[in-house]
Amino acid sequence: MKFTILTIMFLAIASLSACNTFEGMGQDIKNGGQDVENAADRNK
């Protein structure tokens, strides 16, 4: 039980520190998708 709570708290803190707003989260997701697309293009 404690491990689950600590894991959830860690993930929440990490996500909040990575992007402070939903706009920031959208940018992070967009950039991640772009990286995947670029990697796919390089490995054709």
Q: Given a cut of 60, is residue 31 above it in pLDDT? A: yes
Angle between helices 22-42 and 2-18 (to 10 degrees): 90
Domain with 37, as residue range(s), is: 2-42
Alpha-carbon gap, residue 39 to 25, rounded angstroms: 21
H helices present in the chain, as ranges: 2-18, 22-42
User: Global pTM?
Assistant: 0.47
- What's the pLDDT at 17? 63
What residues have CB less than 8 Å from 25, skipping those under 6 apart?
15, 18, 19
Count of domains in the chain? 1
Alpha-carbon gap, residue 38 to 40, rounded angstroms: 5
- What's the pLDDT at 26? 79
Q: Given a cut of 80, is residue 37 above it in pLDDT? A: yes
Mean pLDDT value of segment 22-41:
84
Mean pLDDT value of segment 17-37:
78
